Amino acid sequence: MSVQPAFGEAQQRLREARSICVLTGAGMSAESGIPTFRDTLTGLWSRFDPAQLASPEGFRADPALVWRWYAERRDGVRRAQPNAGHRALAAFEQRHPGRLSVVSQNVDDLHQRAGNAGTVRLHGDILADQWLDPCPRGLSCDTDWAAPTEPPRCSECGNLVRPAVVWFGEPLPYRAFEAAERAAQSCQVMLVVGTSGAVWPAAGLAALARHRGAFVVIVNPHPSEIDHEAHLLLPGTAAGVLPALLDPL
């Protein structure tokens, strides 16, 4: 199917759908100037293995190094602004309350700042902190109480503070993935935007939605590893396609 008829069919499916699940990936944030995970490993950081900077083992081996790398990434997230794709999703949700669920593989807060406050974050929140280990005293201490070292640590037990993101070898947050599965299972249209489809288990949500009867549309400028799950492929970026796709609805 050529692009124009496919675009029209996607709009019609979205117009008629009572429930829509949107799964977004790194390409969505890249248009706001936030590099993908691999793209951040340039310059000074190019000599490091990704697992060295994004795993519990790497953090324990050199906490200060990992903390500095995430400090740079956090600064980039704070400077970035939601793009036209983020704004189109937020405006659609405002016009059609209760019909749209956003599930994101991104660790930034651009969906939330645009207006999709209920976005499900599968891979955590880069601007938030958490303790590296459970408190040995069984206390529920706030990370704000940590001593201001790099990285911060508990002045009582020495427990380190780490970014609240999912690292290599860690499971996705149970409640977040459960919410994502519910959205995928119950939607009538699954809109997949800006993801390579290479990161699991998030990449499996499109297949789950299709298996449950959803119409799957993938928006991406390049082929993805889950294109075979799509009923329609719309080549293009989030900022280029989503406003034209959603604003008239």
C-alpha triplet 185, 191, 194: angle, nearest 5°? 125
Which DSSP string do the residues of 195-219 spell out, in sequence order?
--S-STTGGGHHHHHHHTT-EEEEE
Q: Which residue has the tokens 């400028």?
A: 221
Considering only CA atoms, which of 234, 240, 176 is closest in space to residue 205? 176
Please give the Cα distance from 44 to 42 (Å, whole number): 6
Nearest to 115 by CA among 95, 94, 100: 94
Distance CA 189, CA 210 (A): 9
Active-site residues, by number, are 123
* 192 three-class SS: strand
Residue 191, strand partner residues: 22, 217
